[in-house]
Structure formats: structure tokens, C-alpha cells
């Protein structure tokens, strides 16, 4: 594992440091925080203030999106005439929240609409002809797709034959050589001729822009902020860049989660143990506690339950639905653990797999709903693209995850004849194929990846933002770092390096898979740091007793690299606040990686600037 400091070329480094000094002085920030602002392209105090204080004014006018006027005017006619409409969604968090957003907006304005969310295993991703034909038979004259449809050429033709008008709203990339489906309107900021400023909206974000336009034109604009809570959840869950408008959506939406009235959302926060009065969850808590429970419905059962959860008015029914999602998530975790163990066993027993530039792993009857998560685990652990495939008779279904710098969809597109269907983007793919073609796919992808990935590119890289000593991890630094929130894609949570930190006591293993270290607070002197010569200040409290450092899914590291109390280690870490309801409140560290100081210090690579 290589550790690299996030850095630009030397010529820009000097300018960046100058900007950081100005920002630190003007905004009274620790210099390391100002450096991170400058590294994010912020070059003035005004830009810094806008970044640090997102507002409703950061939301762009929805009419700037190509196709919006035609879509909204048609929806307004349907609402006024109470035409039956169908919202065609998707089974993940983004698709279900997009469905809820548009359905809620239409009904608030007096319209009538039904929805369809496909079954992951029985229908798969995308719009199906039979659903459109059934809707037409039921009298539906308008279908609006959300988080899907940008490649639904056949479905668009079916809708036209059935006399149904189609509005496509999506955010997935548009194939440059294919164009867009024939529809009354196509809303997607990634269309080449769309001038909408934010290209990073998720599917729920695009649906929200439609809802925003409808509400503003109806004089109900005051309701718009109430939608931001679920748009924020979808934006985080879909891992789109938290830049520009997305940053404002997530910041304001998380703030709104301090006080929740929706019965379903309240019940969901309760089962996630995030219902503390007045506290806003973090992006990490949304991504790892809220989103998995919502996604569990689509992975293990039917995603329409998520739509019902967010639209139901009865608190008791909301509680039942939320508790069922919690049970489904537990079942998903157990299935994921079972498949992950089988996947890792294959890797450990196969020198060919371990040496592959692209790891293609297959098994019989693995649950399709969790193989994508397992692929992500393999890619993360081994630092190379990974595909996990489940065989089901003559067919095989697969999901893949990539590493930075390797476009996985492009790799699949070099062998289209091997697939029954496929799709995705640079970082993730899904596909179906004849089982007999799996061996050939493994060969083709390994050759393709091997020609593009070699040496250092196949060594996992962890980036960090700067060096700290343990005594610099203070409440003041934490408060300044919080100003950079919300963290996510495009605005990564700051990671720091500390060298030569002493372990206080023996490492602890939690729940057989997690690791907990206690790091000495006032005995670290990293490169260039002044030695600490005084005792901790009064009131330093728990920090004076050491800092807890948690390593999620790192317990296995102790088998290869045992640690003992008193040893010195170098650590990469994030800083967070312990929010445990009984003993939380203080600061703790979350480990990205660790290594013994004496054996590994020379391996740390820090580009000069």
C-alpha cells in the first residue's frame, strides 16, 4: 500500500500556500484547513465563504435544464386534468427517492399518479415493454421515468405505439454515438447540448429540479426546502460529486434532518439509532447506516416498500416498514459475509487470480443483490478492478467495481458480443451473459487491464492531506474541519498522517472484524514538529488519556502484523466525534491504514512541494 500526499505540481504549490496563508488570516482558520480550501480550487475569501456557508441561493433555476419547459408544461396539464400518470423508477436509494419526490410534488398540486419500481431479480434495471403496455391498458397517457430511461430506446418506441407520452429524467451518461430516446422531453444535465451548470446531479436531484419548477410555477415555492432531506440522502447514497449545487443540497438537507416530521423518515432514523433530538447525521452515517437499510429492500425483497415508507401517513405502519428494512439489512449483511468469505477463499487458493490485472471471480447461486458489494470489497482490498459473477443455470449475472484511473465500462465495451446486456460507468458495471462465456470474459478483461495497468498502478494508493502530531488533534481543529463538510465524492474527508505514535496497551478486536488502538496523545513528534515539553492543559480530559483509533474491517491485519503496547506506529486517519449515546462526545480517529514506524517509515512517499 502506497501513501501519497495530495499535491499539485511545484509551480502551483507555492501559489496555493500563499492563498492558504491569506485565507487562514482572513477567516481565522488553522493553516492546514486553509491549505485544504486552496487545494479545492478556492482562491478568494468570497469563494471560501460560499463554500463554507451553502445556502438556498446556490440552487440553480430549474428552467436552465434542457427539456424542462416542455416537461413541466405537460405535467401541469396532466395535473389540472387529473390524468392518470405513472412514475417509472428504479430499485436503489436514488431511484426510490426520485419516485417519492416527483410523486409527492404531483399530489401536492392536486395530480394523480401511480408508480412502478422494478424487481431487481425478476425485472432487472431499466424500463420494460410489458410495464408500459400494462399502464397503457389501464388508461395511463403519461409516463415519467426517474433515475432511468436514458438508453430506453425500445421502451420509448413501445410507449409511442401504445399512445403514451414519455418524459425521461435521468442522470446516467449519454452514449455519444446513440443519442437519446424519442420522447416528449428528455431531462439529463449530461446531454451534450444541455447548458445546466451542475452536471453531477443524481437521479433524485433531476427529479427534484422538476418538482422545484412545478412548485415555483404554482406559487408553492416555500415547500421546496422540505424536499432537500430526501434529495440529500439520495445524493450521498449515489456517490455523486458533492460539488456546486450538490454541496448545497446535501448541506441543507442534512441540516433539515435535525427535525423530521415525515413518519417514515422518523421511523427509519429510529432503527438507524440516529434519532437524537436536534442532531444532524453526517454523510458517513447516511452512507453506512441509512442508505444500506433502504437499499436492502431492492437487494433482498421489493423496493416499493421504501416508497411506501416515505409516503405513508400512519406512524405504526411506518414503524413496521422501517423495522422490516432493518431485518432485510441484517439478512443482506449475513449473505454478504457468506459470499465475501467464499470470494476471498477463491483468491487465496488461486495464484492466477492473485496475479490477475482484473479479478473475475464466479460462484454458483450467489445472491445477485449483494455481489456488487462483494466486488467493491475485493477491489478495495487488492487494489485492482474486480468482477463478481453468480451462475444461475445457463445464465450468469455479474457486478464489477473499479479502481481510480481504470474505466470499467470501457473495458466491457471491448467485448460486447459476450453479454446479453450490460451497462454502468467508469467505476461500476452490471451485466448478464451466457455462463459458458465467463472464462473468455476473464481472459479478455485480464489482457485489456494488463495492457493498461502495471507496476505502481496495481499497488493500492491511500492519499492524505497533511501531517499532524497527536497533540494537534484538538477540538478547535475539529470544529474548523467541520466547516468543510459535507464530505463525499469530489470533497473527500481530510486524511492525516501521524508518525511515530506510541500504542497505549494492546490492540483490541471488536466483533471479530474491527480493530481498536489507543494512541498516546502527548508523545508524538512528527516531521518538523516542535517537541512537546509541557503536560496537557487543564480540561484536556479524555484527550490527555489518549485517542481511540478505530480500524473498520482491519482485525485480520493483526494476523500478518501483530502489534503490542509500547510500539511506535505511523497512522493514516480521519478525525471524527464519537456520537455513542452513552459514552460519546469526545474525538476519536478512524484509521485508513497503519504500519510499524521502524520497518516502514522509509516507504512513505511524500512529494516535495
Question: CATH number for the domain including 400?
Answer: 3.10.310.30
How many residues comprise the chain? 609
The verdict on residue 97 lying in a domain is yes
β-sheet bridge partners, residue 572 = 497, 593
Report the first-to-last Cα separation within the chain, whole angstroms.
Answer: 22
- Would you give the distance in Å from CA 165 to the centre of its chain? 33
- What pLDDT is attached to residue 539? 39
Does residue 447 share a domain with residue 589? Answer: no
Strand ranges in 474-604 using DSSP code E only, listed in sequence order: 496-502, 508-510, 514-519, 547-551, 568-577, 587-596
| Range of lowest pLDDT (36-40, 76-80, 108-112) | 36-40
Rounded CA separation 221/191 (Å): 27
Examine residue 510 and state whether it is found in any structural domain, yes or no. Answer: yes
The alpha-helical segments, DSSP class H, found in 350-435 are 351-354, 371-382, 408-412
Average pLDDT value for residue range 315-326: 97
Range of the domain at 447: 350-458
Residues 77, 217 within the same domain: yes
3-state secondary structure at position 431: strand
Domain boundary among 413, 430, 458: 458
Residues 473-494: tens digit of each pLDDT? 999 999 999 999 999 988 999 9
167 grid coordinates: 418524459
Residue 585 lies in a domain: yes
pTM over 0.75: yes
Contact by Cβ (8 Å): 460, 2: yes
Mean pLDDT for 572-598 is: 85
Is residue 289 in a domain?
no
Q: Do residues 95 and 208 both lie within one domain?
A: yes
Q: What is the DSSP letter of 586?
A: S
pLDDT range class, residue 583, cuts 50, 70, 90 = low
Number of other residues whose CB lies within 10 A of the CB of residue 404: 11
Cβ neighbours of residue 9 closer than 8 Å, sequence gap 6 or more: none
Closest CA to 183 of 170, 169, 171, 165: 165
Sort 212 into a burial class: Cβ within 10 Å, 0-12 / 13-18 / 19+. buried
Q: Domain holding 560: CATH number?
A: 2.40.50.460
Cα separation, 414 vs 419, whole angstroms: 11
Residue 189: give its domain's CATH number.
3.90.1640.30
Tell me the DSSP string of 165-184: EEEEE--SPPPTTT-----S
User: For the residues of 225-257, what is the DSSP string, one character each?
Assistant: HHHHHHHHHHHHHTT----THHHHHHHHHHHHT
- Could you tell me if 93 and 10 lie in one domain? no
- The answer on 73 and 46 residing in a single domain is no
Mean pLDDT of 159-186: 92
Q: How far apart are CA 24 and CA 422, in angstroms?
A: 49
pLDDT per position as a tens digit, 384-422: 999 999 999 999 999 999 998 899 999 999 999 999 988
Which among 458, 488, 507 is the end of a domain? 458
What percentage of the chain exceeds 70 in pLDDT? 91
| Mean pLDDT for the stretch of residues 514-539 | 57
Mean predicted lDDT score pLDDT of the chain: 89
* pLDDT, mean of residues 178-192: 94
Judge whether 206 lies within some domain: yes
Judged on CB neighbours under 10 Å (0-12, 13-18, 19+), 132 is buried
* DSSP codes of every residue in 542-562: GGGG-EEEEETT-TTHHHHS-
In this structure, of 177-181, 289-293, 321-325, 335-339, the range with the lowest mean pLDDT score is 177-181
State the Cα–Cα distance between residues 187 and 146, nearest whole angstrom. 10
Q: Are 236 and 283 in contact (CB under 8 A)?
A: yes
* Burial zone of 76 (CB within 10 Å; 0-12 exposed, 13-18 middle, 19+ buried): middle
Cell triple for residue 6? 495530495
Return the C-alpha cell found at 201: 446531479
Amino acid at each position: 500500500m502506497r501513501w501519497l500526499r495530495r499535491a499539485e505540481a511545484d509551480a502551483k504549490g507555492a501559489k496555493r500556500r500563499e492563498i492558504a496563508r491569506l485565507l487562514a488570516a482572513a477567516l481565522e482558520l488553522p493553516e492546514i484547513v486553509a491549505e485544504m480550501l486552496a487545494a479545492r480550487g478556492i482562491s478568494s475569501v468570497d469563494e471560501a465563504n460560499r463554500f463554507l456557508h451553502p445556502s438556498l441561493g446556490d440552487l440553480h433555476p430549474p428552467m436552465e435544464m434542457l427539456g424542462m419547459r416542455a416537461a413541466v408544461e405537460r405535467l401541469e396539464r396532466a395535473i389540472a386534468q387529473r390524468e392518470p400518470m405513472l412514475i417509472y423508477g428504479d430499485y436503489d436509494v436514488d431511484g426510490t427517492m426520485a419516485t417519492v419526490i416527483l410523486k409527492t410534488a404531483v399530489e401536492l398540486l392536486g395530480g394523480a399518479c401511480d408508480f412502478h419500481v422494478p424487481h431487481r431479480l425478476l425485472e432487472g434495471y431499466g424500463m420494460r415493454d410489458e410495464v408500459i403496455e400494462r399502464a397503457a391498458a389501464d388508461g395511463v397517457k403519461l409516463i415519467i421515468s426517474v433515475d432511468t430511461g436514458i438508453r430506453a430506446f425500445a421502451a420509448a418506441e413501445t410507449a409511442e405505439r401504445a399512445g403514451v407520452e414519455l418524459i425521461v429524467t435521468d442522470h446516467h451518461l449519454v452514449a455519444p454515438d446513440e443519442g437519446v430516446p424519442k420522447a416528449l422531453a428528455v431531462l439529463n444535465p449530461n446531454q451534450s447540448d444541455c447548458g445546466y451548470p451542475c452536471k453531477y446531479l443524481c437521479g433524485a436531484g433531476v427529479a427534484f429540479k422538476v418538482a422545484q419548477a412545478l412548485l415555483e410555477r404554482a406559487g408553492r415555492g416555500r415547500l421546496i426546502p422540505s424536499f432537500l432531506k430526501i434529495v440529500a440522502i439520495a445524493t450521498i447514497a449515489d456517490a455523486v460529486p458533492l460539488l456546486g449545487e450538490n454541496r448545497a443540497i446535501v448541506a441543507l438537507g442534512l441540516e433539515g434532518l435535525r427535525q423530521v416530521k415525515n413518519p417514515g423518515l422518523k421511523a427509519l432514523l429510529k432503527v438507524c439509532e440516529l434519532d437524537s433530538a436536534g442532531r444532524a447525521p453526517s454523510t458517513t452515517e447516511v452512507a453506512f447506516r441509512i442508505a444500506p437499510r433502504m437499499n436492502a429492500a431492492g437487494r433482498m425483497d421489493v423496493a416499493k416498500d421504501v416508497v411506501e415508507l416515505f409516503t405513508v401517513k400512519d406512524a405504526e405502519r411506518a414503524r413496521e416498514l422501517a423495522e422490516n428494512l432493518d431485518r432485510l439489512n441484517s439478512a443482506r449483511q449475513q449473505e454478504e459475509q457468506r459470499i465475501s468469505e467464499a470470494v476471498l477463499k477463491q483468491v487465496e487458493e488461486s495464484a492466477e487470480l492473485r496475479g490477475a490485472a482484473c479479478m473475475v471471480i464466479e460462484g454458483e447461486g450467489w445472491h445477485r443483490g449483494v455481489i456488487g458489494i462483494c466486488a467493491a470489497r475485493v477491489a478495495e482490498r487488492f487494489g485492482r478492478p474486480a468482477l463478481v459473477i453468480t451462475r444461475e443455470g445457463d445464465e450468469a449475472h455479474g457486478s464489477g467495481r473499479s479502481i481510480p484511473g481504470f474505466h470499467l465500462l470501457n473495458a466491457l465495451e471491448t467485448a460486447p458480443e459476450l453479454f446479453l446486456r450490460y451497462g454502468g460507468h467508469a467505476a461500476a458495471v452490471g451485466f448478464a451473459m451466457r455462463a459458458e462465456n465467463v472464462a473468455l470474459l476473464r481472459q479478455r478483461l485480464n489482457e485489456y487491464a494488463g495492457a493498461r495497468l502495471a507496476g505502481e498502478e496495481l499497488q493500492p494508493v491511500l492519499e492524505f492531506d497533511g501531517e499532524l502530531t497527536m497533540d494537534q488533534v484538538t477540538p478547535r481543529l475539529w470544529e474548523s474541519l467541520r466547516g468543510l463538510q459535507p464530505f463525499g465524492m469530489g470533497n473527500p474527508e481530510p486524511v492525516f498522517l501521524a508518525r511515530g505514535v506510541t500504542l497505549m496497551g494492546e490492540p483490541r478486536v471488536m466483533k471479530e472484524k474491527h480493530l481498536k488502538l489507543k494512541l498516546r496523545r502527548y508523545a508524538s513528534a512528527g516531521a518538523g514538529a516542535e517537541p512537546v515539553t509541557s503536560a496537557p492543559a487543564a480540561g484536556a480530559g479524555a484527550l490527555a488519556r489518549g485517542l481511540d483509533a478505530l480500524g473498520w474491517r482491519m482485525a485480520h491485519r493483526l494476523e500478518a502484523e501483530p502489534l503490542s503496547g509500547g510500539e511506535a506506529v505511523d497512522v493514516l486517519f480521519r478525525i471524527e466525534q464519537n456520537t455513542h449515546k452513552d459514552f460519546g462526545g469526545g474525538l476519536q480517529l478512524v484509521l485508513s491504514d497503519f504500519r510499524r514506524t521502524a520497518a516502514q517509515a522509509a516507504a512513505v512517499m511524500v512529494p516535495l512541494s
